[in-house]
Amino acid sequence: MRFLKGIALAAALVTAAGAETIVITDVTIHTLGRHGTIESGSLLIEDGVLSAIGDDVEIPVGAELISGGGRVVTPGIVDSYSYLGIREIGGVEQTVDDRQTGDRFTAAFDVSPAINPRSTLIPINRVEGVTHAMAAPRPAYGEANLVSGLGTLMHLGGDKDFRVRERAALFVRLGEGGAGSTHGSRAAAMLALREAIEDARDYDRHRGAYAEGRRRDYSVGRMDLEALQWVLDREIPLVVTANRASDIETVLELAEQEDLWLVILGGAEAWMLADRLEKANVAVILNPIANLPERFESLNATLASAARLHEAGVEIAFSINDSHNARNLRQLAGNAVANGLPWIEALRAITAAPGRIYGIDDLGVLEAGQPANLVVWSGDPLEVTTAAERVIIDGRAVPMRSRQTLLRDRYLDLDDPRPPAYRGPVE
């Protein structure tokens, strides 16, 4: 019966996709904002904007009215570190645009122009509640690039205006990866990063002299020096991959000395420095189920990491580091709950927290006056048996269709005597 009701709700929302005004009633709403959780509430969407939310929303005349039947509504899931849109098949280099070879560009390498909003991977994740993702550059294998480049925060709602914020963060790798990229030790990687920052500051102070050829050679090129200014001016965060506690301590010292907006990515042993991270206001993007000592730098990884960081007051977000399966982020969040993280904080880690970490406070929350980005769930979104019944991005109900659903539907009618290829066109 619940399945049939879900079909009816989905059909109603598809019809409402073209309507200017949509009202969803009788739903439990986890706003992740100032309204908290609203039982038996309603949402009013007008021209793509969530114009009203609460338990006493007035229904405008002529609005498309949809009864949620007690379902759950949350903000859309946000993947805080992904390669959606910039990598289709990892083994086919022509479809991989998340990395560069050579050393002509480092900090200036911006993945935004390469993003494909029509990637077949996007609908696969979108139909399961993922509405936004950080498309981030990654270091090329065997290349001496300590700095990976600039990432773009995008929504998954289609091919129009999908970029929420370009050049939203600069990504750097330290630890084992950083040492390998500099063909030396961790000390060499940190020295290279310090030199690039020092050169960028010198460049900014002496632009005229540089243009006239009256400055020394810098360790990176002019475009990289320009890109580093956004980090030095604290316009964007410096997202540093680091797992070992001592590596995190080292980059914390650098951030304090240089007054940088720092975010730790990976953070297998970050829980060991939780108090210091909280004091420095440094967020951590982690995989909460990464508890195996896969490398020497993650010997102290634990399933309790997320709970311990949260308890200390550290802002946390989750990443699965596998964009093809970003849809499994809510399963990661559920596992974090099983290991001590409060339920609402686990939901926050895959909705509102990524927005705050990247400086976009209205992303991942449901507030009146903001674009409507939400998911209607059949039940608890952190339970694996729960389904996303409808996804709305920028006020538009997106098609609940992917290449996987099309393949399922193609072979669903086993009583049809015709071969699958003759049963009608595949959309």
DSSP assignment, residue 247? H
pLDDT at residue 2, as a whole number: 42
pLDDT at residue 8, as a whole number: 46
| Other beta carbons less than 10 A from residue 257's beta carbon | 10
Q: What is the 3-state secondary structure (H, E, C) of 356-411?
A: HHCCCCCCCCCCCCEECCEEEECCCCCCCCCCEEEEEECCEECCCCCHHHHHHHHC
Q: Is 126 helix (H, G, I), strand (E, B) or coil?
A: helix
pLDDT at residue 141, as a whole number: 58
Q: Rg of the Cα trace of the chain?
A: 23
pLDDT at residue 4, as a whole number: 37
Q: Where does CATH 3.20.20.140 sit in the chain?
A: 77-363
Structure tokens at 291: 């508890």
State the Cα–Cα distance between residues 345 and 336, nearest whole angstrom. Answer: 9
Q: Where does CATH 2.30.40.10 sit in the chain?
A: 2-76+372-409
pLDDT at residue 426, as a whole number: 45
Q: Is 161 helix (H, G, I), strand (E, B) or coil?
A: coil
pLDDT at residue 13, as a whole number: 52
CATH topology of domain 77-363: TIM Barrel (3.20.20)
pLDDT at residue 321, as a whole number: 82
Report the b/e string of 201-233 with b at 16+ CB within 10 A: eebeeeeeebeeeebeebbbeeebbebbebbbe
The architecture that CATH gives domain 2-76+372-409 is: Roll (2.30)
Strands 163-173 and 64-75: unpaired
Q: Say what the pTM is.
A: 0.91
Residues pairing with 82 in the sheet: 135
pLDDT tens string for the chain (427 positions)? Answer: 443 344 445 444 544 444 578 899 999 999 999 999 999 999 999 999 999 999 889 889 888 888 899 999 999 999 999 999 999 988 888 888 888 877 778 899 999 999 999 999 999 999 999 999 999 998 765 556 789 999 999 999 977 789 999 999 999 999 988 887 777 899 999 999 999 999 999 999 999 999 989 999 999 999 999 999 999 999 999 999 999 999 999 999 999 999 999 999 999 999 999 999 999 999 999 999 999 888 899 999 999 999 999 999 999 999 998 878 999 999 999 999 999 999 999 999 999 999 999 999 999 999 999 999 999 999 999 999 999 999 999 988 899 999 888 888 877 777 777 776 666 554 4
pLDDT at residue 17, as a whole number: 45
Residues contacting residue 381 through CB under 8 Å, at least 6 positions apart: 72, 74, 129, 330, 347, 375, 388
Spatial CA neighbour of 197 closest among 235, 237, 225: 225
pLDDT at residue 32, as a whole number: 96
Residue type, 259: D
pLDDT at residue 140, as a whole number: 66
